[in-house]
Chains A and B, each alone.
Chain A
Amino acid sequence: MKLSTEARKVLDSCMRMNKVSNAEREEIERVVDSMPDDRVLLYKNVVSNPIGDLPRYDIHVRLQHMLTFVTFLTLAFTGLPIAFLDHFWAEPLNNLVGGVDVSRIIHRTLASVMIFSMIYHLFYLFAISVKDILRGRFEVQRSLIPTFKDIRDFKDDMLYHAGQRSQRPEMDKFMYKQKIHYFAAAFGNLVMIISGSSFLFPEFWAAILPADSVSYFQEMMRLSHPHEALLALLVIAFWHWYNVHLAPGRFPMQWTFLTGKITREHQIEEHFLEYLRNLVEIPAEREYLLDIEDARELSGVYEDKYIDEKQGRNLDQGEQA
């Protein structure tokens, strides 16, 4: 496979950062060369372990996710019956957790655990970033920071889903959907903390805000807390759970949040640039790839029409004709 300029840059910088020997470099290049140009054939033909093959999240990320998701759901469970008390389901649900005097205490306790999880996450981000920068391994495109490439990826991905492009874009460790979701959750978390604190400490907010805006602020927070909660819950239920549970290939569950590992086919399909790094960092993965290519005679698949991504559209139109 002839790598695109972007992929080549990622591969080269990864080899440089890992200080790979010349012999190893040759081997990696051989593996990359042997990959079929149609990346689709690659991820369609590898064999994946459902609970994951390649490392993705360390224990801290998994713990933060676990803390956030358990507290998020229980917060919604104790909070929504208070916010939507006019609805028929509210009172039985509230009685289930012991009435409002109990559920308020549970709600606040869980909220502090969720805030702890946020602080833990911020410290963790700071620590790994500093570590990577000091070791000269920090890469913006590998992080969660949004880049212009994400907009291009989004456009290309839409074209692929519409059948106008033969390949999904080559995306990094975090694709555009994950970045949107991450920042939506971060923003929502902030809104919930500020509005929640304005219920718990109304005197504090009244004291620090200008007199004219106090009432508007409180009204806004009273509206924000349930609206944001409901929005977050629906986004989780309809989008996040779709992406990790219901989407084809992920059903019934993507195990990454427990095992920290991603399946091989998923990595190649949606995080190809990260897969290139895996090839550099995990020698066994190189061996595996060569074996499967041999077994399935994939290396030989070499067709000019797949070389240039930009020609993808012509390819599909040609096929239809």
Chain B
Amino acid sequence: MAIQTCIKYFLMLLFIMLNSQTQTFAFVDDEGCLLCHKYPKMGRITEDGARRSYYVMPHVFGSTVHRNVPCKDCHSYIKELPHREVDTGVTCNSECHSVKNPATGKNFSHQVIYDKYIESAHGRKKKAEGHDKDKPYCVTCHTNPIYDPNEEDGPPPEITQRCVVCHEDEAFVNTWYKHTSRRIKEVKRSPKEVMELCSSCHGDKRLIDRHLDAAIEEGRELGEKYAHAAESYKQSFHGKVVKYGSKGAASCLDCHVDNNNYYLNVHDIRPSRDPLSSVHKDNVTFTCQRCHTHADDNYAQLDPHPTPTSESENNDFRYYANLIYGWIGDIVLVLLIGLATFETIGRRRDGIGWRLKKGSSWWRKSKRGRDRIK
């Protein structure tokens, strides 16, 4: 019976696998870039000794969100083939000449969001020098996402049947439906993913130290929590439940982003000393109230980034309270275990056994005389 069930499921699985062909989009190489970039060994070793691959996999790129953008729309510095050495590379605020913004009819561009980002604490140019180089550029957080094959089961016919009445091209309808519906869905990173993403820089001790030193040298101000933002968050209750995969607790972005328009303002994270920041002292109560509905100004005094107990700097109270608690615990334990041992020795000396045998535990011979009468 069990074998039959196994075979049944195996055949079903095989059937599903054979039927589900991942739909790849035609990637038309009008510009002839693949003439060279189709070769897997296409690459070089940079002056720093890093190995760089310039291999483009057409079937993979054909499944990404940028599949309809011709290479030269982004790689606009390429004027002839074979091209010269690339200096700056792709910047995300360039205009796409081939894709129009359907609302304005102008060339499509990420300029609006780019301008927000440049103003934020994280803003940097593509070609950054010095400490700005540690800041994230667009591609640090945004990859060129590949469509999830699970999403590719075309749209429900009861919806598209209505569209094709006027928009006769079924392929266009399907694409448009996916384009829209995907943006209606929740596509935020989970709190845990946000924590990991932010920690990749804010939890990097060497990077943090570099910036702390630079700030002191240049006489710049840095946030009070800058030195241990990631570590202290992980020790807070938010961090703990997020680490365990809870979806309900606040991640970094839930407090540090103005939730007026999350998707826009997530690019505009500002330091707490900036009055526009959602964690500025004038705004922080409202920020707490997003989740803690009854929070008041007193509540906003609570520290969501408690300094790690291992460090005494900045938070003597927490450090010494923890130390004293530890000592009390140790002393109590030593005393109690000492008492128990002392008692055992004393009663054993007077002839008590561990177990009750024939109605008495005092069947051993006492060192002090007066044994149980047999």
Residue of A nearest to B245 (CB): A99
Complex: how many Å from CA A231 to CA B327?
11
Question: What are 29 contact pairs spanning A and B, CB under 8 A?
Answer: A47-B358, A48-B359, A82-B240, A82-B244, A99-B245, A99-B246, A158-B342, A162-B342, A163-B368, A203-B296, A206-B298, A206-B302, A207-B299, A211-B301, A214-B299, A214-B302, A215-B302, A219-B306, A219-B317, A222-B237, A223-B309, A227-B322, A227-B329, A235-B336, A243-B340, A247-B344, A249-B353, A265-B361, A296-B373
Question: Using an 8 Å CB-CB cutoff, how does the interface string of A50-89 with B read, 1 for contact, 0 for none?
Answer: 1000000000000000000000000000000010010000
Q: A-B pairs with the 6 shortest C-beta distances?
A: A161-B346, A47-B359, A249-B361, A100-B244, A206-B299, A44-B362
Which residues of A206-249 have CB atoms within 8 Å of chain B's CB atoms?
206-207, 209, 211, 214-216, 218-220, 222-224, 227, 230-231, 234-235, 238-239, 242-243, 247-249
In the bound complex, do residue A249 and residue B369 qualify as a contact, i.e. CB atoms below 8 Å apart?
no
Supposing A223-B322, A242-B340 touch, asked if A248 and B347 sit within 8 A by C-beta, the answer is yes
Interface residue B33 (Cβ < 8 Å from any Cβ of A): no
User: Is A49 part of the binding interface, using a Cβ–Cβ cutoff of 8 Å?
Assistant: yes
Indicate if A199 sits at the interface (CB-CB under 8 A).
yes
* Known contacts A216-B317, A234-B333: A203-B373 contact under CB 8 Å: no
- Report A81 CB to chain B, min CB distance, Å: 8
Contact with A along B226-255 (1 / 0, CB 8 A): 000000000001001101111110000000
Binary contact track A138-177/B, C-beta < 8 Å → 1, others 0? 0000000000000000000010111100100000000000
Q: Is A251 an interface residue (CB 8 A)?
A: yes
Closest CB-CB distance, B83 to chain A, in whole Å?
50
Q: Which of A44, A45, A252 has the most CB of B within 10 A?
A: A44
Shortest Cβ distance from residue B314 to the other chain A in the assembled complex, whole angstroms: 12
Number of B interface residues at 8 Å Cβ cutoff, please give it: 62
* A49 CB contact (under 8 Å) in B294, B296, B359: B359
* A48 B240 Cβ-Cβ under 8 A: no
Indicate which residue in A44, A227, A248 contacts B348 across the interface (CB closer than 8 Å). Answer: A248
Task: Kindly supply a per-residue 1/0 record for chain A positions 33-55, scoring 1 wherever the CB is within 8 Å of any chain B CB and 0 otherwise.
Answer: 00000101101111111100000
Given the known interface contacts A230-B329, A248-B354, the answer about A45 and B368 at a Cβ–Cβ threshold of 8 Å is no
Residues of B within 8 A of A297 (CB): 373
Q: A101 at interface (Cβ–Cβ under 8 A)?
A: yes
B337 at the interface (CB under 8 A from A): yes
A263 is an interface residue with CB less than 8 A from chain B: yes
Nearest-CB residue, chain B, relative to A198: B302
Of residues 5 through 46 on chain B, the ones whose CB sits less than 8 Å from some CB of chain A are none
Complex Cα spacing A214 to B370, Å: 63
Contact between A235 and B356 (Cβ–Cβ < 8 Å)? no
Given A227-B326, A235-B336, 14 more pairs with CB closer than 8 A: A38-B370, A40-B350, A101-B241, A101-B245, A161-B342, A163-B346, A163-B349, A218-B302, A223-B322, A235-B332, A247-B340, A247-B344, A248-B352, A249-B353
Taking the complex as formed, is B171 at the interface, i.e. its CB lies under 8 A from any CB of chain A? no
Smallest CB-CB separation from A219: which chain B residue? B318
Chain A facing B: main interface SS: helix
Does B297 sit at the interface, judged by CB under 8 A?
yes
- 0/1 interface trace, chain B 355-366, chain A, CB 8 Å (1 if under): 110111110000
**Is B351 part of the contact surface with A, judged by Cβ < 8 Å?**
yes
Chain A interface residue count, Cβ-Cβ cutoff 8 angstroms:
63
Contacts of B348 in A (CB 8 A): 248
A316 contacts partner chain B, Cβ-Cβ < 8 Å: yes
Q: With an 8 A cutoff between CB atoms, is A179 at the interface?
A: no
Tell me, in angstroms, the Cα distance from A204 to B303 when the chains sit together: 16
Contacts of B347 in A (CB 8 A): 161, 247-249
Cβ of B164 within 8 Å of any chain A Cβ, yes or no, is: no
B60 within 8 A of A: no
Within 8 A of B (CB), among A109-165: 158, 160-163
Residue of A nearest to B325 (CB): A227
A108 vs chain B, min Cβ distance (A): 13
B292 within 8 A of A: yes
Q: Does B118 contact A (CB under 8 A)?
A: no
1/0 contact string of B283-300 vs chain A (CB within 8 Å): 000000000111111110
CB distance from B296 to the nearest CB of A (A): 6
Contacts of A247 in B (CB 8 A): 340, 343-344, 347
Question: How far is the CB of A270 from the nearest CB of chain B, in Å?
Answer: 10
Q: Contact between B299 and A203 (Cβ–Cβ < 8 Å)?
A: yes
Interface contact A252-B355, CB-CB below 8 Å: yes
Bound Cα distance from A45 to B85, whole angstroms: 101
Q: In the complex the two chains form, what is the Cα distance from A227 to B328 in whole Å?
A: 10
